[in-house]
Amino acid sequence: MVEIKCINKSFDKKQILFDISGKFLKGKTNLIIGASGTGKSVLLKCLVGLLNPDIGEVLFDKRNFTNGSKNLITEIRREIGMLFQGGALFDSKNVEENIMFPLNILTKLNPKEKLEKVNHCLKLVGLEDMNSKMPAELSGGMKKRVGIARAIVNDSKYLFCDEPNSGLDPLTAIKIDNLIQKLTHDLNTTTIVVTHDMNSVMEIGEKIMFLHEGKKLWEGDNKNIFKSKVKELNKFIFSNRLMKKIKN
Amino acid sequence: MKNFGKYIIFISSLFKRREPFKTYVNLSIGECIKIGYESLFIVAIVSVFMGAVTTIQTAFNLVGPLIPDYTISLVVRDMTLLELSPTIIAIVFAGKVGSNIAGELGTMRISEQIDALEVMGINSSSYLVLPKIIASILMYPMLVIMSAFLAILGGYLAGIFTEVIAGEEYIYGLRYEFNSFNIPFALIKAYVFAFLVASISSFQGYYTTGGALEIGKSSTQAVTKSCIAILIADYVLAQTLL
């Protein structure tokens, strides 16, 4: 479980996050949703340690990630897998080398064991026999899948996904969402997904945190999101015609 | 001054939270190929022509009835060792390798590859930059030695073909009153310039923010700042060591 306590973050005297607290549950896909510019990605960066919150703490299974010792921070970081918006694959390495990278750096497995793990992860994300492809040869969806494979190859306990289906067609986006949810359940990871895609919310939102202008306004799941009385959340959900039609 | 302070902090961060030694050996070998081997052609071309032009221009300006012909090769030798090979080639090196380093790291920064390394618990600056600095410090002095040899050879060939100096005279001039300190001096310069080019370019690339336009700006700034640093260091070293 990942817990955040009173996270505040400012840039150049402009406050982006205001007192955000909450819990992200193990074995569930936890979503952070909100419109663009509400601080979702900043919160995610605070969670994974790419940014330090001005005030507040991030706890990974009760271990203090924000104010912990350097060794503890490194230990926790090595339990984190992250899927970046663009995949963030290393351009100079092929698919196999990209996925094997965390194993080369963080483990002492022999080459055969590493290759077995890589092939297992490739199978999980449905990209068998793509080992020798370079990132430039992959489609957007494939890059995300390779990014997911790299994020889970080191048996990560925590999986973070930053806009996993941005730039993808609806069909591929749903496939990626379902893949993330399946991996979360199968591997029992604490998965945190940042998204503004309502399809994702409905598809995989087992626990949802809604941010608006840097503040947490609502928390719940995809079953009760439509029952919310929060004006900003309703405006966000029913922003397109299709959702408005469903509402009516 | 703020940027200089940030640069010093950046350099010190390279030595914190390092990965195992073997990792750096493997990465440094790869960087040596990129930085050294792939610069051979441009360094060779520039060096040969640099020596040839120095010979012809020296002959044009200096030779008279009272000045012996071997003065030409003496001037070529000393200019090559003291200035042309370490400094001019450093500027070429900054243009080729420096812009490449800044572009590579800038692209990695904006495509979140550096963030990916940090999330994995890897000190990205140390992992990415230290091998480039090591490779640069190892390879650039070799390039300077090769450049000095080729520049003197270029001068010899130009002298012979244009008949401004005979081969024996050229060789005699090369040996005449040779100050052996010029070689360690050139190598000291090479080590300092190599460090400056690799570290400044890495610094520029590593802290790129924005998009494709900013990567271009980082590359340009890497070359500009490296050249300025080279010229300042050149003056300081000449003042203190000669």
d(CA B13, CA B225): 21
Please, is A77 exposed, middle or buried when counting C-beta atoms within 10 Å of its C-beta (0-12, 13-18, 19+)? Answer: buried
- Cα separation, A103 vs A117, in Å, equals 9
- Which structural domain range is residue B76 located in? 27-241
The answer, yes or no, to whether residue B114 has pLDDT greater than 90, is yes
Q: Phi first, then psi: what are they for B196, rounded to 5°?
A: -60, -45
Shortest CA gap B133–chain A (Å): 19
Check pLDDT > 80 for residue B103. yes
Is residue B205 included in any domain, yes or no? yes
**B116 contact residues in A (CB cutoff 8 A):** 82, 84, 88, 90
Q: From residue A229, how far is each of A218, A233, A243, A245 by CA, in Å?
A: 9, 8, 16, 18
Amino acid A104 reads N
B168 and A CB contact within 8 Å: no
Sign of CA dihedral B193, B195, B199, B201: positive
For B198-233, what is each residue's pLDDT tens digit?
999 999 999 999 888 999 999 999 999 999 999 999
Of residues B22 and B148, more confidently modeled: B148
pLDDT-based confidence at B63, cuts 50/70/90?
low
- In tens, the pLDDT along A89-121 reads 998 899 999 999 999 888 888 999 999 999 988
Query: Chain B residue closest to A160 (CA)?
Result: B119
Nearest CA distance, A74 vs chain B (angstrom): 5
Chain B contact probe: residue of A42, A71, A75, A82 with most B CBs at under 10 A? A82
Nearest-angstrom CA–CA distance, A51 and A34: 20
Task: For residue A134, count CB atoms less than 10 angstroms from its CB and return exposed for 0-12, middle for 13-18, buried for 19 or more.
Answer: middle
CATH class label, A2-79+157-247: alpha beta
Position A125, amino acid: V
pLDDT above 70 covers a percentage of chain A that reads 98
B6 located within any domain? no
Q: Where in chain A is the domain with CATH 3.40.50.300?
A: 2-79+157-247
| DSSP label of A86 | T
For residues B86 and B241, what is the distance between their CA atoms, to the nearest angstrom? 15
Cβ within 8 Å, pair B115-A86: no
A:176-215 residues touching chain B, CB 8 A cutoff? none
* CA A149 to chain CA mean position, Å: 13
Q: Per the domain annotation, does B139 fall within a domain? A: yes
C-alpha A126/C-alpha A142 separation (Å) is: 9
Per-residue model confidence as pLDDT tens digits over A148-189: 899 989 888 999 999 888 878 888 888 888 888 988 998 899
Q: Is the ipTM of this complex over 0.90?
A: no
Q: Are A105 and B120 inside 8 Å of each other by CB? A: yes
For A18-38, what is the mean pLDDT?
91
Q: Is residue B174 part of a domain?
A: yes
Q: Crossing angle of helices B71-79/B40-62, nearest 10°?
A: 140
